[in-house]
Amino acid sequence: MKARYIFLLLLFASCKWNGQHPGRAFTDVSGKTLSPADYSRWFESDESTQQHLQQAGGKSYEVTFLPADLLALHEAGPGADENAIREAKTHYEDLVYFRLRIKDPDAGGEILKENISSPQDYQQRVTYCAFGMQRDISLLDEQNDTIPCALFNFERAYDVTPFVNFVCAFDRKEVGQCRFFTFVFNDRLFHNGFLKFSFTQEDLRNTPKLKP
Nearest distance in Å: CB 31, another protein? 25
Nearest-angstrom CA–CA distance, 103 and 74: 23
Give whichever of 3 and 160 is closer to another protein, judged by the CB atom. Answer: 3
Give whichever of 69 and 187 is closer to another protein, judged by the CB atom. Answer: 187
Number of C-beta neighbours around residue 161 at 10 A? 15
Nearest distance in Å: CB 55, another protein? 6
Give whichever of 27 and 49 is closer to another protein, judged by the CB atom. Answer: 49
CB 142 within 8 A of CB 178: yes
Binding site for another protein (CB under 8 A): 1, 3-4, 6-7, 10, 52, 54-57, 182-183, 191-198
Nearest distance in Å: CB 196, another protein? 4
Q: Which residues sit opposite 78 in a β-bridge?
A: none
Nearest CA-CA partner of 100 in 127, 139, 146: 139
Give whichever of 14 and 27 is closer to another protein, judged by the CB atom. Answer: 14
Nearest distance in Å: CB 140, another protein? 10
The arrangement of strands across the sheet holding 163-171 comes to 51-56, 59-66, 95-103, 163-171, 151-155
